[in-house]
A and B are shown apart, each in its own frame.
Chain A
């Protein structure tokens, strides 16, 4: 193919006029970001009612800290997210490794099956759980939210871990076994450290999915355990108020940190792969 010894040609760019490209970039990014930026800017606005700039303040953040209801909701959300992330990361990691390592009957169907909870409309799953939980004695509230969310976070972890196993050099495991390590030692000392970036990405994904989860929690949170997104929803239904802006800004900032961490972990993964 390369018999003509032509220098490797770089991908020729489709020559859409440069200004069209710029215009599309500006339009799409503007559409994605202007609402969020406006929201953030106005969380520092002094006026309660108007969406016109009247002056800079941290007042709404202070209001936030004095809301026991919100702080309670934050606590519920964090609690659920942490428990949920631990469970789904452990089970998902083991699942991902198993799925990569073993071949068994129905494996293909199982992988296909994993996608279903990810894509199925969450509300369908949520009402199914609402019907189902009382039958098996799972109390509505934190346990129900944890179990409900793991149904769609475990598949994410499994898929991400399985993908990082794909770039894994299995001779490392063989070497470890040859040196006398047990199966468990090999898993813990060799396999897991190597695929750790993938596990971290899976865990972060799982955490943020849980922390942001509205639909499942909305149906199964029971009473007295309102997590943050459901609380925010309630506030939105009663009209906009600037402390919701402040709260949203905090959550967006947290999301940004999670994404940056995830990106870094992924880059490390890419370097190793």
Chain B
């Protein structure tokens, strides 16, 4: 039994080492120059932009997702099931299709422009798609359920134990104080899990900037894709890729201390 389990995982372990092996195999001699190149201005800017992008998207998701998750967790049971279901459906829906839906909505010949034009509120279509802003909206749209669900799981766990909040009230804390001193700190595992589930994929996103940023937005995912499929500089792409892995592992290592593993294991 252990073997059945061990084989695919060893395989995975193997693969994860092959990233480095494959990289060395292409160059045929060991060099650090690819990593050095990453610190050149343009590449460095791509990485810094990606980190900023991922950070802001995560904060937006947290800002919108937290109140919403809170509302679900405190809703009456029947309403809770409906709300939860409505978050799970987009969570499962292909993000490519959801990205397309957003493109269709905000495109030059898209729904919003068509409506505004026909109402004569504008005379020229607004340039919403193919901008950095559109990329933010697209990524935010794609990731929001990934923030809401772990936050909900965590908040629901707190709501299942009303005695904490009652104790705070009995000790004279108001609703606001109870929230900030009791509920918010207890929900840190949910915040950590949700933030990682949003930040890490956003850091590596590549088709959303391509489709919604219209080529003007280049994040590290696009950079990697470009090195592999267009520029044919595999070692350079692999170095960027390794950097992303390093950041990811660092964040997981740091975040796992606060993370709520139960969320993933519940299988949504």
Nearest-neighbor residue (CB-CB) of B90 within chain A: A32
Chain A residues whose C-beta falls within 8 Å of the C-beta of B93 in the assembled complex: 36, 212, 251-252, 255
Q: Are B95 and A212 in contact (CB under 8 A)?
A: yes
User: CB-CB contacts of B209-221 with A at 8 A, as 1s and 0s?
Assistant: 0110000000001
Chain B residues whose C-beta falls within 8 Å of the C-beta of A256 in the assembled complex: 89
Q: How many residues of A contact B (CB 8 A)?
A: 98
Q: Are A131 and B118 in contact (CB under 8 A)?
A: no
Nearest-neighbor residue (CB-CB) of A237 within chain B: B211
Give complex CA distance A42, B115 in Å.
Answer: 13
User: CB-CB contacts of B241-260 with A at 8 A, as 1s and 0s?
Assistant: 10011001100100010000
- The residues in B between 2 and 44 inclusive whose CB is less than 8 angstroms from any CB of A are 2, 4-5, 7-9, 11-13, 15-16, 18-19, 21-23, 25-26
Q: Are A251 and B97 in contact (CB under 8 A)?
A: yes
Stretch at the interface among A46-54, A60-68, A78-86, A169-177: A46-54
**Residue B190 is within 8 A (CB to CB) of chain A in the complex:** no
Nearest-neighbor residue (CB-CB) of B20 within chain A: A128
**Residue B55 is within 8 A (CB to CB) of chain A in the complex:** no
Majority secondary structure of chain B interface residues (helix, strand, loop or mixed): helix
Q: Are B165 and A121 in contact (CB under 8 A)?
A: no
User: CB-CB contacts of A231-255 with B at 8 A, as 1s and 0s?
Assistant: 0110011001000110010011001
Chain A residues whose C-beta falls within 8 Å of the C-beta of B245 in the assembled complex: 120, 124
Partner of A248, one of B97, B145, B166: B97
Q: Are B267 and A198 in contact (CB under 8 A)?
A: yes
- The residues in A between 147 and 165 inclusive whose CB is less than 8 angstroms from any CB of B are 150-151, 154, 156, 158-160, 162-164
Give complex CA distance A197, B51 in Å.
Answer: 39
Chain A residues whose C-beta falls within 8 Å of the C-beta of B145 in the assembled complex: 32
Interface CB pairs A-B, < 8 A, 15? A9-B166, A24-B67, A29-B86, A95-B5, A99-B5, A112-B256, A119-B196, A120-B200, A121-B204, A122-B204, A128-B18, A132-B19, A232-B100, A233-B207, A245-B104
Binding site for B on A (CB under 8 A): 1, 9-16, 21, 24-25, 28-29, 31-36, 38-39, 42, 49-52, 91, 94-95, 97-99, 101-102, 104, 110, 112-125, 127-132, 135, 150-151, 154, 156, 158-160, 162-164, 166, 198, 201-202, 205, 208, 211-212, 214-215, 218-219, 229, 232-233, 236-237, 240, 244-245, 248, 251-252, 255-256, 258-259, 262-263, 266
